[in-house]
Amino acid sequence: MTELSPKFKYEVAQEPGGEGIKLCFACGICTASCPIRAIDEGYNPRRIIRMVLLGMKQRVLSSDFIWFCSSCYACTERCPQGVKFTDVMNAIKNLAVKQGYVPTPFVQQIDILKRFGRLYEIDEFDNKKRAGFGLPKVEKARGFTKKIMEMTELEQIILRKNEK
Amino acid sequence: MKYALYPGCTVLGRGRNYEMAARQVARVLGIEFVDLDDFECCGFPIKSVHYETFMMMGARNIFAAEQKELDICTLCSACTGSLTEVNKHLIEHFDEKTRIVSTLKKNGINYRMGRNIAVKHFAKILYEDVGINEIQKLIRKRLSNLNIAAHYGCHYLKPTDIYKNPEDPENPHTLDELISVTGANSINYSEKLSCCGAGVLAISEDLAYSIARPKFQELSGNSTDAMVLICPFCSVMYDDNQKKIEKKFGEKYNLPVLYYPQLLGLALGIDAKLLGLRMNRVSTRALLEKIGA
Ligand code: SF4
Ligand code: SF4
């Protein structure tokens, strides 16, 4: 728990969207703007940044709270330093996934997307209903999403979690 | 005016009323939609899991529209944000675009390098490409006795640095103007710019419901006839889940939630049934009676 990884901030900064983290001067405007923080005191953008800068890698990546961000971009728009905290959170989540921390709902969504290419399957029955409402037929997805997930080896990344 | 329509997963799965109304309104306003038969998920759900996969999923959808040489019209604000972000990246990094096209090709997904296109939310198309003045001319029934609460949602406005003509996210106006042109009164209220909470619905229902609640508390206490929004995720929160939120907090809101094209459609004189107004979860009957539809 107390083990620190001084390089953690560089790892975050190297992920797409993570670049801005080093610009933070801890003003707390992000925290004051955050709708999640307003409900749950345990979620605190400024504190998450401090934890990253201090190198608390395992503690951050294994935490539940990194998944609480609703991606509303309020912090990003208001940050006087241009940190883009929403993107920083995304970078942190991407790193957490690489460590095997993937919340179950995401695993389920990936499975659905692999099978249907979309979050909802539109079958014959749905298309009949659509026709009844004057809506055009939706063609079956052609498996592009599955292909792409194979190309990026997403499954191997997610599977690591299941081995744990 | 011709666009490739990108409905997105959530509209297909849960927003048939939105799709119906958008298509009806487009027809009356002279907007032609070409359906993208090879569209798949925009990548939004994967962004927090694996950015590279997100980028490729978005890019492939954009390439599909490029082949038709058409700009994309989105209905969902999350799709709008994701596809706009990816598209901006592809336009600014030609090498990346070339790399993704050739990687896809190597794996049997064939798109030629097309000319750059734009991604635009339907509401922005109505505001910028059709224009308030043109819409005004086609209004057949002014909805003057309605008080409407505009809900912009987050991704329609933010992050501002991905959008071409961003509005001030602290003081936006397009949806208010689009509501006003129907003759309805777009009210001012303090929770107008609140997040709906749908972004955390999959992780924690309790948290999501708590985020959605303040808007209901404010609007059920005044004379608002309906909330009007432009994103299926927001609608899942405010319309589909309204009963559950009422139950969780022991409160009663009974607030109709309409997609903007449904409201506009009524003002354009389109039949309520064709606008899918019977499919909204919170009954719209009293509202329709009030305007004599
Ligand atoms: S608003 Fe920006 S600079 Fe201020 S604490 Fe948050 S991320 Fe750091
Ligand atoms: S984007 Fe996330 S961290 Fe930023 S204000 Fe919204 S919920 Fe909070």
- Residue-wise pLDDT tens digits, A83-115: 999 999 999 999 999 999 999 999 999 999 999
Look up residue A49 and give its two tokens: 């940044």
In terms of CA atoms, which chain A residue is nearest residue B22? Answer: A135
Position B35 pLDDT exceeds 70: yes
Q: Within 13 Å, how many C-alpha atoms sit on residue B191's CB side?
A: 17
CA distance B283 to B240: 11
In angstroms, what is the span from residue B234 Cα to ligand 1's centroid?
27
CA distance A75 to B1: 36
Decide if B92 contacts B170 (C-beta within 8 A): no
Residue range B159-179: average pLDDT?
97
- Supply the pLDDT for residue A158: 84
Give me the CATH topology for the region A8-98: Fumarate Reductase Iron-sulfur Protein; Chain B, domain 2 (1.10.1060)
Decide if B255 contacts B219 (C-beta within 8 A): yes
What's this model's pTM, rounded to 2 decimal places? 0.96
Could you say which architecture CATH assigns to the domain B2-121?
Up-down Bundle (1.20)
Q: Atom 3 in ligand 1: which residue has the minimum CA distance?
A: A24
Sorted by where each begins, the domain ranges of chain A are 8-98, 104-163
Q: Would you call A132 an interface residue with chain B, using a CB distance cutoff of 8 Å?
A: no
Position A162 pLDDT exceeds 60: no
Between chains, do B158 and A15 touch, taking CB under 8 Å as contact?
no
Determine how β-strand B147-150 pairs with β-strand B72-74: unpaired
In angstroms, what is the span from residue A75 Cα to ligand 1's centroid?
8
Length of chain A: 164
Decide if B47 contacts B53 (C-beta within 8 A): no
CA distance B104 to B291: 52
CA distance B54 to B100: 12
Percent of chain A topping pLDDT 90: 92
Q: Atom 2 in ligand 2: which residue has the minimum CA distance?
A: A69
Q: Which ligand ends up closest to the CA of A67?
A: 2
Supply φ then ψ for residue B7, to 5 degrees: -70, -35
Between chains, do B197 and A69 touch, taking CB under 8 Å as contact?
no
CA distance B125 to B31: 9
Between chains, do B16 and A102 touch, taking CB under 8 Å as contact?
no
- 10 Å Cβ neighbour count for B116? 12
The CATH number given to B142-290 is 3.40.50.11810
pLDDT tens-digit series, residues B220-264: 988 999 999 999 999 999 999 999 999 999 999 999 999 999 999
Decide if B277 contacts B284 (C-beta within 8 A): yes
Q: In this predicted complex, what is the ipTM?
A: 0.95
Atom of ligand 2 nearest to the CA of A70: 7
Atom of ligand 1 nearest to the CA of A45: 6
Q: Which of B53, B159, B195 sits opposite A77 (nearest CB)?
A: B159
- Supply the pLDDT for residue A164: 45
The full DSSP string for B64-130 is HHHHTT--EEES-HHHHHHHHHHHHHHHH-HHHHHHHHHHHHHTT----------EEEHHHIIIIII
Range(s) within chain B of domains with CATH label 3.40.50.11810:
142-290
Amino acid at B71: D
In angstroms, what is the span from residue A84 Cα to ligand 2's centroid?
10
Residue range B91-120: average pLDDT?
96
Between chains, do B197 and A16 touch, taking CB under 8 Å as contact?
no
For chains A and B, count residue pairs whose Cβ atoms are closer than 8 Å.
Answer: 157
Q: Atom 8 in ligand 2: which residue has the minimum CA distance?
A: A34
pLDDT tens-digit series, residues A25-78: 999 999 999 999 999 999 999 999 999 999 999 999 999 999 999 999 999 999
Residue range B161-184: average pLDDT?
97
Q: Atom 8 in ligand 1: which residue has the minimum CA distance?
A: A24
A84 contact partners, CB below 8 Å, separation of at least 6? A17, A20, A76, B159
Between chains, do A69 and B199 touch, taking CB under 8 Å as contact?
yes
Average pLDDT of chain B?
Answer: 97
Residue range B25-46: average pLDDT?
97
Decide if B46 contacts A113 (C-beta within 8 A): yes
Look up residue A108 and give its two tokens: 């389920």
End-to-end alpha-carbon separation of chain B, Å?
29
Range(s) within chain B of domains with CATH label 1.20.1050.140:
2-121
CA distance B218 to B194: 12
Q: Which residues line ligand 1 (CB under 6 A)?
A: A 24-30, 45-46, 49, 79, 81, 83, 85
Residue range A129-138: average pLDDT?
96
Task: Give the mutation candidate from A110, A119, A157 for the B interface (greatest B CB count, under 10 A).
Answer: A119
CA distance B229 to B157: 13
Decide if B234 contacts B151 (C-beta within 8 A): yes
B287 contact partners, CB below 8 Å, separation of at least 6? B146, B225, B226, B256, B258
Q: Which residue in B169, B259, B253, B249 sits closest to B208, CA to CA? A: B249
Residue range B82-98: average pLDDT?
97
Task: Give the mutation candidate from B103, B195, B206, B217 for the A interface (greatest A CB count, under 10 A).
Answer: B195
Position A130 pLDDT exceeds 80: yes
Supply φ then ψ for residue B74, to 5 degrees: -105, 155
